[in-house]
Amino acid sequence: MVGALAFVPSPPFLLNALGGGPASLRSLCLQAISVLEGRDLVVLGAGDEPGWVKGTVDATAWGARGERAPDPLPLALAVGSTLLGDRQHRLLAAGGLELLGDDVGLLVVGDGSARRTEKAPGHLDPRAAGYDASVAAALAAGDPSLLGSLDQVLGKDLLVGGLAAWCSAAVHAGEKRWDARVLLDDAPYGVGYFVATWT
Amino acid sequence: MLQFRGKVLPDSSLVMAIVNRTPDSFFDRGATFGLQAALDRVDQVVAEGAHIVDIGGVKAAPGVEVSAAEEADRVLEVVELVRAKHPGVVLSVDTYRASVAELVLAAGADLVNDAWGAPEPETFSVAASFGAGIVCTHAGHLPPRTRPHRIAYPDVVADVVTTLTGLAEQAAAAGVLRESILIDPGHDFGKNTRHSLQLTARTSDLVATGWPVLMALSRKDFVGEVLDLLPDDRLEGTLAATAVCAWQGARVFRAHDVAATLRVLRMVDAIRGTTEPLISVRGLA
């Protein structure tokens, strides 16, 4: 079981080469990350294969100029790595069975439904708001069992990008009830963004 | 880097706004001849984001003779008042007379837009003595305020490149800072419409000289002839030419329509990758 968790979303615009995103969102993410200070930092996000990952933050696939790196990181890990900046950290693609100790501060990178509004990437699905509300409730309760028992089938339908990361995070968070704070629960561009901390 | 009397301009494509203290210029036809109207126009173009304000007291086309004293009367008080009100804006004066240049530079102007190809070469040393900048223009080797008649060039672009690099080196030799010298191919000046179109198409040849290129295209006759339109209806044609020149690397655009020109330039700069989009959320949220 890890020692603390921070939850952030993974819009590509948070990558520096794509502008770094809205200052307010970025600063909330950094605020959440601050609860991990002093721990062994691990970024947890969706990847191609479960397990430890090495690679380069590379935004060319999303239209940034420059040469494509030979080993581009998956989006969520790239965003997490970017937010941690020059702090030493490891990258973990969700879904594996790695054991993480309580010296680890886990940065969980994932998004809610991309069907929150008419202009959302996946258009409006009326079920999306309720689904994301259940994510927010799980985060606010500090309850790993709620976060780990989100409806996977409906979630896939609703283009919930954070499912894999949250499922893994629930395992690494054990059975404890955490002291939870939700800093952001919003969908300003039609995609559910959550920023939260469990300490 | 472009700078005029210590005022450093950004790396983007830039707009020089036209302010005519004239009763008879071809597009505004005296709209800003009055002092207050001219000052209001300056306030407006500065608010719209113009990087350089270019004040002129004599219309380019042939017409009523304007003496140096009359020209100075028209532009000097505008320069003084604008300098006081907008200390940061680069202030240019459109004149081919060294004596007028000296007066306005003493009053705080930063740049002399010598639009007739330096008929009075002492203008270079006058600009240098104030640490000011200069626009070197290709006016088809014609005297000021004349129109081309059956003018011919073996290769108009080559003539422009040779003439302008010569003038720019002359200005530098007179002591004008190299980063304060602009070259302007002078669309319509000593040129027919086909000449001006060739210069537009081959902007990159001018850019390749290494001197920053100023383009004065706004609502000119070459646009009017291509589209068979009067000055009031030449905005789209002007903006199309602006985009083509900016894409090839021209730096400064002398314009009547400041806001529209700035939008076109920002768009072209973003396509070239030299300016970031103001917002970039689509597909990235």
- Give the pLDDT band (50/70/90) at residue A65: confident
Encoded tokens for B247: 């894409």
Q: Which of A132-136, B118-122, B269-273 has the lowest mean pLDDT?
A: B118-122
Q: For residues B76-96, give the mean pLDDT.
A: 96
Query: What SS3 state is found at B217?
Result: coil
Q: Which residues of B touch A (CB under 8 A)?
A: 273, 276-277, 280-281, 283-285
User: Residue B62 pLDDT more than 90?
Assistant: no
CB atoms under 10 Å from CB of B209, counted, come to 15
A13 in contact with B, Cβ within 8 Å:
yes
Looking at chain B, which residue has its C-alpha nearest residue A12? B284
User: Residue B148 pLDDT more than 90?
Assistant: no
Contacts of A62 in chain B (CB under 8 A): 283-284
Contact A111, A150 (CB under 8 A): no
Looking at chain B, which residue has its C-alpha nearest residue A17? B276
Residue A18 to residue B284, Cβ atoms within 8 A: yes
The pTM for the full model equals 0.85
Radius of gyration of chain B (CA): 18
Q: How far apart are CA B32 and CA B20, in angstroms?
A: 6
Q: Alpha helices of B175-278 — where are they, by DSSP H? A: 193-201, 203-207, 221-227, 235-247, 258-272
User: Residue B28 pLDDT more than 90?
Assistant: no
User: Residue B29 pLDDT more than 90?
Assistant: no
User: Residue B48 pLDDT more than 90?
Assistant: yes
CB atoms under 10 Å from CB of B218, counted, come to 25
Q: For residues A53-73, give the mean pLDDT.
A: 93
Say how many Å lie between the first and final Cα of chain B, rounded: 35
Q: How far apart are CA B258 and CA B116, in angstroms?
A: 23
A189 in contact with B, Cβ within 8 Å:
yes
Measured in whole angstroms, the distance separating CA A20 from the mean position of its chain's CA atoms is 16
Phi-psi map region of A159: left, alpha, beta (phi>0 left; psi -120 to 50 alpha)? left
- Specify burial of residue B117 (Cβ count, 10 A radius: 0-12, 13-18, 19+): buried
Min distance A49 CA to chain B CA atoms (Å): 23
Min distance A141 CA to chain B CA atoms (Å): 26
Contact B268, B13 (CB under 8 A): yes
User: Residue B124 pLDDT more than 90?
Assistant: yes
**Domains of chain B as residue ranges with CATH:** 3-272 (3.20.20.20)
Q: How far apart are CA B202 and CA B223, in angstroms?
A: 16
DSSP B64: S
Q: For residues B204-212, give the mean pLDDT.
A: 98
- Give the pLDDT band (50/70/90) at residue B86: very high
A191 in contact with B, Cβ within 8 Å:
yes
- Give the pLDDT band (50/70/90) at residue A97: confident
User: Residue B117 pLDDT more than 90?
Assistant: no
Residue with tokens 């173009």: B45
Residues of chain B with pLDDT > 90, as a percent, come to 85
- Specify burial of residue A67 (Cβ count, 10 A radius: 0-12, 13-18, 19+): exposed
Residue with tokens 């000021």: B144
Indicate the helix (H) or strand (E) that contains B76.
helix B68-85
User: Residue B106 pLDDT more than 90?
Assistant: yes
User: Residue B95 pLDDT more than 90?
Assistant: yes
User: Residue B51 pLDDT more than 90?
Assistant: yes
Q: Which of B274, B276, B278, B280 to mutate to test the interface with A (most CBs of A within 10 A)?
A: B280
Which DSSP string do the residues of A30-95 spell out, in sequence order? HHHHGGGTTSEEEEEE--SSSEEE--B---GGGT-SSPPPSSBPPHHHHHHHHHHTTS--EEEETT
Q: Which of A16, A18, A186 to mutate to test the interface with B (most CBs of B within 10 A)?
A: A18
Relative to beta strand B252-255, strand B14-20 is parallel
Q: How far apart are CA B218 and CA B254, in angstroms?
A: 7
**Domains of chain A as residue ranges with CATH:** 4-198 (3.40.830.10)
Nearest partner of A114 among B177, B267, B284, B126, judged by Cα: B284
Measured in whole angstroms, the distance separating CA B174 from the mean position of its chain's CA atoms is 21
Please, what is the average pLDDT of chain B?
95
C-alpha to C-alpha distances, B277 to A63, A121, B248, B260, nearest whole angstrom: 12, 20, 19, 17
Quote the pLDDT of residue B76: 96
- Give the pLDDT band (50/70/90) at residue A174: very high
- Please compute, for residue B174, the number of CA atoms within 13 A of its CA located in the half-sphere on the CB side: 24
Residue B280 to residue A190, Cβ atoms within 8 A: no
- Specify burial of residue B161 (Cβ count, 10 A radius: 0-12, 13-18, 19+): buried
Nearest partner of B58 among B114, B125, B140, B102, judged by Cα: B114
Q: For residues B250-254, give the mean pLDDT.
A: 98
Residue A62 to residue B281, Cβ atoms within 8 A: no
User: Residue B24 pLDDT more than 90?
Assistant: no
A103-131: pLDDT as tens digits: 999 999 999 999 999 988 889 999 999 99
- All residues at 6 or more sequence positions from B103 whose CB lies less than 8 Å from its CB, including other chains: B72, B76
Contact A60, A73 (CB under 8 A): no
Contact A69, A58 (CB under 8 A): yes
Contacts of B280 in chain A (CB under 8 A): 13, 18-19
Looking at chain B, which residue has its C-alpha nearest residue A18? B280
B149-164: pLDDT as tens digits: 888 898 999 999 999 9
Quote the pLDDT of residue B147: 83
Contacts of A12 in chain B (CB under 8 A): 284
User: Residue A175 pLDDT more than 90?
Assistant: yes
Residues of chain A with pLDDT > 70, as a percent, come to 100
Please, what is the average pLDDT of chain A?
96
Q: For residues A42-57, give the mean pLDDT.
A: 97
Quote the pLDDT of residue B8: 97
Taking a contact as any Cβ pair under 8 Å apart, which residues of chain A between 94 and 123 contact chain B?
A: 121
Say how many Å lie between the first and final Cα of chain A, rounded: 12
Quote the pLDDT of residue B59: 87
Looking at chain A, which residue has its C-alpha nearest residue B277? A19
Q: How far apart are CA B39 and CA B156, in angstroms?
A: 38
Query: What SS3 state is found at A10?
Result: coil
User: Residue A43 pLDDT more than 90?
Assistant: yes
Quote the pLDDT of residue B13: 97
For chains A and B, what is the number of CB pairs under 8 angstroms? 22
DSSP A154: H
C-alpha to C-alpha distances, B176 to B115, B122, B124, nearest whole angstrom: 17, 12, 7
